[in-house]
Chain A
Amino acid sequence: MTTVSEEYDWAAPLEPLKNLVSERALSGETMVLNMGPQHPSTHGVLRLVLELDGETVVNCIPDIGYLHTGIEKNMESKKYEGALVMTDRMDYLNNMGNNLVYCLAIEKLAELDVPLRAQYLRVIGAELTRLNSHLVWLGTHAMDIGAMSLFLYCFRERERILDMFEMISGQRMMTSYIRPGGVWRDITPDFLPTLRGFLDDFPRRIDEYETLLTNNPLWRDRTQGIGFISAEDAIALGCSGPTLRGSGVAWDIRKAIPYSAYDQFDFDVPVGRNGDVYDRYMVRVEELRQSLRILNQAVKNLPNGPFRSNNRKYVPPPRSELGHSMEAVIHHFKLWTEGFRPPKGEVYVRVESPRGELGCFLVSDGSPRPWRAHFRTPSFIHLSALPAMSQGYMIADLVGIIGSVDIVLGDSDR
């Protein structure tokens, strides 16, 4: 039998992939095919090298690196506060979550205290971003599988969340609202009524989404029993967040290692049973409702008090003090020209992002610039687990599997 590589000399060399594809690929029995980076369901910057036996995926080799953010390298040359604005851009659907993990790392380094009101505002921000991220995920995931109208509904609700972001931070996506020691500024008086209106309205919308999908036979056919990953495999491969909980492991960092006043909130951790695409979908839809519960409690119990720490070595003084306090002017000037100097040390902080464990490893050498800021991003780890989830399924299922782990390619870059 003539092999593909003998017959066509333009066949791409398989040498670099030799230990990743099966023997059958080398003899030309199975086909090696590129999916992406321009395929719509691979989000434009992910390439999957697939080894196919007919339509069955034998091997899947993800290839990232089509996005060149260079954020970790860039952060080393910026001051701590200046590097904060780059964290928004890492995972553009979880902007406040990224702010939060970076600020928590700085606060852990500097032993900076955060007032309770600021912690509640952070929770509101983080949960709104979770809603935002899950809505984009639900809309695009459903569209990948073929449900168009849901995409429009989800983006309609997302718009209202972006409006609220604009209300508290002046920005719709790159908010940079959470700052070391607290938040940028207090909420405006019209924010809470808007949020309450949204919270009253949104449960009905989730029911609408579920009416369209949850018991839809087409949806079930395309998602149930697809992309299976067992709890042991998921833990070994480092999966976290809804991907891990879909396999039945009730691990939520907000419960296990509470941060930022999450221990004062009452909510459940939704868990799946089967570890397939459908269960991951159900977990996320249930998380939407749990986020609403948290937000309702946060709105109800929002304490009064300062919205940022009064440690002047790290947090700028209020604008109103600059007019009459020389001390405030000095601190303000020093902070915006020199920055602050956290003590020498290394910390690792983890938070629960919409996608899973988001960690920040921050190294300070005592200078105003981070010596090293490393982010453990869930999309990166979940992409490395993608081959284990997709082997043996059809190429059409792969689209659903990629969607079900909820990757954001900005999050998987460095």
Chain B
Amino acid sequence: MPELDSVVNALKSAFPDAIEDVQVFRGDTTVIVSRERLLDICRYCRDTEGLEYDFLSDVAGVDYYPAEPRFGLAYSLYSMNRNASLRLKLMLPGEDPVVDSVTPVYPAANWQEREYLDLLGITFTGHPDPRRILLPDDWEGHPLRKDYPLGYETVQFSFNYDEIAKHKPLAQK
């Protein structure tokens, strides 16, 4: 894809030290960027003529546990004018998963970043509203992490009713 090549080349020449890798898989181009320059790269992608990625489709967070760097964040950008998409991806260490919020550039990232703050425990510096979004404020842990166990509840039948009722003192009241 020559058009995407030119996009990648433009990014490479503008940020020679921040582009770590370029991967092409099934026709999708993923540019791996360093987390320090994410905000600048996003702004460049949005404002530069010939790139014009004005629409942030999706932020996808992945936990690659136990690999290190542990977390990946993939930003799917889309350009309405050029009908082209690009994925920016960055890796975050498990020890301090901190990255700049891209909300100043793409307001659409606001809730999507809160989602990963909540479910993966990634901190976004400069986020305008850093609260949990899906879980209560006092919830412990981040459920989408791979080391967070999948809980379950014993299914209640008539024969095990007494056994289960013992664990539910509040339901007896």
Contacts and interface: CB of A to CB of B under 8 A. Distances in A.
Interface of A: 16, 19-20, 64-65, 70, 72-74, 76-77, 108-109, 111, 235-238, 249, 251, 256-257, 345-348, 350, 357, 359, 361, 363, 371-372, 374, 376, 380-381, 383-385, 413-414
Given A72-B144, A383-B111, A347 B80 contact: no
B83 interface: yes
A249 B56 CA distance: 15
B108 A374 contact: no
A235 B63 contact: no
Given A16-B131, A73-B143, A346-B74, 18 more contacts: A20-B129, A65-B134, A70-B143, A74-B150, A77-B150, A111-B26, A236-B54, A236-B107, A238-B107, A257-B83, A348-B76, A348-B87, A361-B76, A363-B62, A371-B62, A372-B62, A374-B62, A414-B134
Contacts of B14: none
Contact of A345 (B25, B108, B135): B25
B108 A381 contact: yes
Nearest to A110: B26
Contacts of A347: 25-26, 28
B150 A374 contact: no
5 contacts: A72-B144, A251-B80, A348-B85, A374-B58, A380-B111
A214 to B, nearest CB: 29
A346 B108 contact: no
A111 B25 CA distance: 11
Contacts of B146: 76
Contacts of B136: 65
Contacts of A371: 62
Contact of B63 (A361, A372, A385): A372
Given A371-B62, A381-B108, A238 B55 contact: yes
Contact of A384 (B80, B85, B110): B110
Interface of B: 25-26, 28, 30, 54-58, 60-63, 74, 76, 80, 83, 85, 87, 106-108, 110-112, 115, 119, 128-129, 131-137, 143-144, 146, 150
B58 to A, nearest CB: 4
Contacts, number: 98
B65 to A, nearest CB: 10
- 9 nearest CB pairs, A to B: A238-B108, A376-B58, A384-B111, A361-B60, A65-B134, A374-B60, A372-B62, A345-B25, A359-B58
A253 B57 CA distance: 12
Contacts of A236: 54, 106-108
A361 B133 contact: no
A1 B106 CA distance: 41
Contacts of A72: 144
A73 B62 CA distance: 11
A381 B170 CA distance: 38
A345 B137 CA distance: 34
A409 B7 CA distance: 37
B70 to A, nearest CB: 13
Chain B CB within 10 A, most for which of A65, A256, A345, A346: A346
B108 A361 contact: no
A363 B57 CA distance: 17
Contacts of B62: 346, 363, 371-372, 374
Nearest to A68: B134
Contacts of B80: 235, 249, 251
B131 A348 contact: no
Q: Which of A74, A350, A361 has the most CB of B within 10 A?
A: A361
A270 B5 CA distance: 34
B150 A345 contact: no
B108 A237 contact: yes
Nearest to B67: A365
Contacts of B76: 348, 359, 361, 376
Contacts of A237: 107-108
A284 B107 CA distance: 26
Contact of B25 (A346, A380, A381): A346
A357 B56 CA distance: 11
